[in-house]
């Protein structure tokens, strides 16, 4: 169970009707606070970081996440209580669910007992069925996203959920799963679909049954290889569940059962277990919650004292003292003090006019501090200032300008035209999905994917990479915690290298997209454009002036559009 840590300087005292007690956690997208609602209801309030709240694209994604949470409700899920996606700083509130995560429980107590295992299987399968019934894919079902509450298991974290109509909530290039809890098809081609959730459900229940990861542990690429090529280790799993788990972890998504079928099958198996334990007739589907109420026995954890002893901040007294001080100071110093205070107030609330790229560079970490999260320069994000990366939005006469991105100079130093905007620490587990270059990798730092990350050469013997940020000449230095995978899947002589960034003739900057996207007229949506619209398929390079299929937002068809500049 996440503990409450004291609020940090600058944290709010109250959000709407919710009084903030402290922090439950913080990540690249936002901070989650422990709070008390009306009548003392315990809630978790997720607040988006201000830098993301200023981005229209991110606000739209957050609004979509709220809509997903409002759509999805059912057994063993955590309901949305309140939200303000249109607020200056967007937020949402859900019930706080006490209890350890499944991961914490297994680490402390080992595999679940038979009845607890069947209750976990039936409860989480019912939750997954409710999610899929609303056209939503969870994408990150894993032991740390299942809480074992006193009332039963609860499935958490729709922060990276994916709507089945093809609209992802997460930023392009963000981590859409956790290594070891990813389906074979997602490892292969980033396919996101309900069968992928069924695969990870099978792995989750197998882990709960045996206390052992079904595909082992170790380096991320080694685990990925086992997931794609080897069979799960189910030794020790109950016989009545083994066949179901094997079908869930089939390599072919078409061979897996649906979540609705899982809910039915696990309820039947729970009924047989309850018949033995309770000495009564077969259980019915509607009685699952009844069995949870009577037979769910998970060791309770101590209640966090912050819920009951957190002092209420005396904001009225503080406000009275501040007002008194202002009055005394004003009486003593007259109009000068009032003018100074007004000036200070103005400068404190005036939005910065400094360009985003300058502000980003100014936030370089000092050597004494730990590396910052990599959310400042996201790994795959539409370019925010195309004028800085395209010298001229107008294409040369009859010809597309092509630039090969070269982050490294001879000797293993960043090239002269490369600006290193920050540093982070992480590892790489696969070839880049954004480009077919042999020197590029797909890496993880904090909770964010960086792709592409460039090595000084095609050798895997390197200690640091440069990961492309919002522009092709702005990079994050990634210090590796483990060696690069032994080989790069990009085979020489294979598919041609495609551009990472395309500037259209009108200056619209379009960034490559990784992960599952929609398909139009047989062509995959490969680029998202800063000024709206998407590019489909690959550039047509048959002439000196390249073209590509562009579809504007809301347009009924795509049109062939000239490319002014391509960065690859």
DSSP secondary structure string for all residues of 473-501: TEEEEEEESSPPPS--S--TTSSPP--SE
d(CA 75, CA 153): 9
Residue whose structure tokens are 């579809």: 551
The secondary structure element, H or E, covering residue 540 is: strand 534-540
**Would you tell me how many other CB atoms lie within 10 Å of the CB of residue 512?**
24
CA-wise closest residue to 134 among 71, 180, 185: 71
Residue whose structure tokens are 């899929």: 132
For the beta sheet containing 80-84, the strands, ordered from the edge strand earlier in sequence to the opposite edge, are 14-15, 18-26, 30-36, 42-48, 91-95, 80-84
Q: By the 8 A CB rule, do 169 and 163 touch?
A: yes
Known catalytic residue at 346: no
E strand residue ranges, 408-482: 408-409, 413-414, 419-431, 440-445, 448-454, 464-468, 474-480
How big is the chain, counted in residues? Answer: 568
**Would you tell me how many other CB atoms lie within 10 Å of the CB of residue 497?**
14
Q: By the 8 A CB rule, do 538 and 498 touch?
A: yes
E strand residue ranges, 127-220: 136-137, 146-149, 152-155, 162-163
Residue whose structure tokens are 């919650």: 289
> C-alpha distances in angstroms, 429 versus 218, 220, 450, 507?
11, 5, 11, 35
The one catalytic residue in 11, 82, 95, 140 is: 140
63-70 long-range contacts (CB < 8 A, ≥24 apart) are 63/90, 64/163, 64/167, 64/169, 65/92, 65/158, 65/159, 65/161, 65/169, 66/92, 68/134, 68/136, 68/158, 68/161, 68/163, 68/169, 69/94, 69/158
Residue 541 annotated as binding site: no
DSSP secondary structure string for all residues of 44-99: EEEEE-HHHHT-HHHHHHHHHHHHHHHH---TTB--EEEEETTSSS-EEEEE---S
* Per-residue burial over 39-60, b = 16 or more CB atoms within 10 Å of its CB, e = otherwise: eeeebbbbbbbeebbebeebbe
Residue whose structure tokens are 């379009």: 510
Q: Is 180 left (phi over 0), alpha (psi -120 to 50) or beta?
A: left
State the binding site: 46
Active site residues: 140
State the binding site for ATP: 46
């Amino acid at each position: 169970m996440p503990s409450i840590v004291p609020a940090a300087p600058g944290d709010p005292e109250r959000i709407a009707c919710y009084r903030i007690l402290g922090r439950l956690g913080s990540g690249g997208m936002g901070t989650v606070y422990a709070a008390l609602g009306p009548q003392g209801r315990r809630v978790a309030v997720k607040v988006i970081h201000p830098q993301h709240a200023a981005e229209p694209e991110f606000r739209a994604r957050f609004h979509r996440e709220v809509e997903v949470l409002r759509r999805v409700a059912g057994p063993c899920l955590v309901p949305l209580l309140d939200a303000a996606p249109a607020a200056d700083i967007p937020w949402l509130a859900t019930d706080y669910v006490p209890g350890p995560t499944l991961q914490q429980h297994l680490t402390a107590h080992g595999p679940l007992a038979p009845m607890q295992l069947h209750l976990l299987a039936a409860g989480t399968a019912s939750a997954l069925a409710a999610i899929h019934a609303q056209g939503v894919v969870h994408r990150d079902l894993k032991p740390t996203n299942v809480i074992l509450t006193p009332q039963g298991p609860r499935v958490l974290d729709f922060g990276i959920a994916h709507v089945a109509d093809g609209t992802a909530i997460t930023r392009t290039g963000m981590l859409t799963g956790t290594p070891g809890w990813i389906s074979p098809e997602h490892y292969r081609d980033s396919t996101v679909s309900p069968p992928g959730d069924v695969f990870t459900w099978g792995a989750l229940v197998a882990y709960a049954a045996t206390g052992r990861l079904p595909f082992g542990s170790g380096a991320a690429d080694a685990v990925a290889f086992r997931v794609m090529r080897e069979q799960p280790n189910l030794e020790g799993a109950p016989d009545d569940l083994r066949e179901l788990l094997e079908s869930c972890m089939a390599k072919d998504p078409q061979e897996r059962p649906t979540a609705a079928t899982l809910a039915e099958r696990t309820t039947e198996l729970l009924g047989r277990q309850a018949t033995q334990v309770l000495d009564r007739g077969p259980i019915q589907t509607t009685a699952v919650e009844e069995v949870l109420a009577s037979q769910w026995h998970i060791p309770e954890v101590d209640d966090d004292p912050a819920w009951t002893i957190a002092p209420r901040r005396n904001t009225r007294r503080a406000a009275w003292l501040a007002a008194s001080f202002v009055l005394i100071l004003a009486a003593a110093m007259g109009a000068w003090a009032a003018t100074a205070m007004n000036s200070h107030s103005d400068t404190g609330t005036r939005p910065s006019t400094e360009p985003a790229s300058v502000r980003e560079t100014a936030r370089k970490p000092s050597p004494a501090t730990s590396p910052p999260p990599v959310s400042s320069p996201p790994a795959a994000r539409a370019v925010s200032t195309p004028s800085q990366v395209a010298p001229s939005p107008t294409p040369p006469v009859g010809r597309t300008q092509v630039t090969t991105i070269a982050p490294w100079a001879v000797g293993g130093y960043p090239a002269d035209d490369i600006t290193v905007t920050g540093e982070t620490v992480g590892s790489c587990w696969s070839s880049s999905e954004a480009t077919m270059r042999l020197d590029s990798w797909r890496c993880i730092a904090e909770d964010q994917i960086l792709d592409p990350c460039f090595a000084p050469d095609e050798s895997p013997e390197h200690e640091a990479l440069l990961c492309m940020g919002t522009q092709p000449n702005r990079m994050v230095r990634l210090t590796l915690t483990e060696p690069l995978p032994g080989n790069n899947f990009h085979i020489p002589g294979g598919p041609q290298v495609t551009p990472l960034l395309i500037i259209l003739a009108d200056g619209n900057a379009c960034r490559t997209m990784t992960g599952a996207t929609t398909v139009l007229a047989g062509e995959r949506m490969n680029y998202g454009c800063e000024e709206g619209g998407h590019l489909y398929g690959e550039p047509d390079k048959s002439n000196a002036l390249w073209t590509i299929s562009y579809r504007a937002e809301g347009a009924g068809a795509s049109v062939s559009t000239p490319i002014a500049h391509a960065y690859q």
